[in-house]
């Protein structure tokens, strides 16, 4: 098990359930940077092209991580590895977790908070991969996805940048649908490790300067896909 402070990514679904239940009960201190957020990291994983459906154990994947400061990339890393499992709702950590953690650990520069292409509290056990990864690495995290996993909520106004509407599960606020650009499909922004829905929302809106997706995630995605192109040519 890849672990830190006793919390890691198991290889079996039953073990993952136990870890997720443990993390859901944790109440870590909220993310409150003393001097504001200066450095924001993003991490993203992609797999071989042409793989439809949920994929399979052994699929080759490439993860990219980047640290941005005031919109400028100051550190980047990529790793290649294999998925330990196919995709299954609620168990994304089995497939992507170790690759994402490895990419972040290859970064040299410190950062304030990490954006992850995964859910947080929007999860059957309130412990999506964005939250799990933050606990594992001991860093505050926010989740950014294109769709909700379980949460309910209508979309916000399409006219205004920053317009938001609540995403809830049984009346619990787990995130916001957010328009980072007018007239574009909203993003689902997720409370995760040491962030609540509001702090995750403010972070993502601030980092989505020039495009729909926040810049740290865009750079991590670019790095992962670039590594895939290079790696696929050598397979």
Residue pLDDT tens, the chain, 235 long: 233 333 469 999 999 999 999 999 999 999 988 778 999 999 999 999 977 789 999 999 999 999 999 999 999 999 999 999 999 999 999 999 999 999 999 999 999 999 999 999 999 999 999 999 999 999 999 999 999 999 999 999 999 999 999 999 999 999 999 999 999 999 999 999 999 999 999 999 999 999 999 999 999 999 999 999 998 755 5
Per domain, the residue ranges of the chain are 2-27+41-232
Radius of gyration of the chain (CA): 17
| Closest by CA position to 46, among listed 234, 233, 231 | 231
Helices (H), 65-153: 92-105, 129-137
Question: For position 7, what pLDDT does the model report?
Answer: 45
Helices (H), the chain: 13-25, 92-105, 129-137, 197-207, 215-232
SS3 content of the chain, % helix, strand, coil (to 5): 30, 25, 45
CATH of domain 2-27+41-232: 3.30.2170.10
Question: For position 93, what pLDDT does the model report?
Answer: 97
pTM value is 0.94
| Closest by CA position to 217, among listed 31, 37, 39, 41 | 41
Tokens read off for 231: 């790696």
Phi/psi of residue 224, each to 5°?
-65, -45
Question: For position 3, what pLDDT does the model report?
Answer: 33
Question: For position 235, what pLDDT does the model report?
Answer: 55
Question: For position 33, what pLDDT does the model report?
Answer: 80
């Amino acid at each position: 098990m890849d672990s830190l402070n006793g919390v890691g990514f198991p290889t079996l679904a039953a073990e993952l359930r136990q870890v997720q239940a443990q993390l859901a009960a944790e109440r870590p201190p909220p993310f409150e940077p003393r001097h504001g957020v200066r450095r924001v990291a993003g991490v993203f994983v992609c797999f071989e092209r042409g793989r439809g459906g949920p994929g399979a154990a052994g699929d080759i994947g490439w993860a990219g991580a980047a640290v941005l400061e005031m919109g400028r990339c100051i550190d980047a890393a990529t790793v290649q590895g294999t998925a330990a499992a196919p995709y299954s709702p609620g168990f994304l950590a089995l497939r992507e977790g170790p690759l994402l953690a490895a990419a972040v650990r290859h970064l040299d520069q410190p950062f304030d908070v990490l954006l992850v292409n995964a859910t947080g509290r929007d999860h059957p056990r309130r412990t999506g991969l964005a939250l799990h990864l933050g606990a594992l690495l001991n860093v505050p995290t926010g989740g950014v996805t294109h769709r909700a996993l379980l949460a309910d909520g209508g979309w916000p106004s399409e006219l205004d940048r920053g317009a938001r509407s609540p995403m809830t599960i049984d009346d619990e606020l787990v995130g916001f649908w957010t328009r980072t650009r007018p007239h574009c499909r909203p993003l689902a922004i997720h409370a995760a490790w040491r962030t609540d829905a509001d702090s995750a929302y403010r972070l993502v809106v601030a980092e989505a300067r020039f495009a729909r997706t926040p810049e740290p995630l865009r750079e991590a995605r670019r790095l992962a896909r670039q590594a895939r192109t290079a790696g696929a040519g050598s397979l």
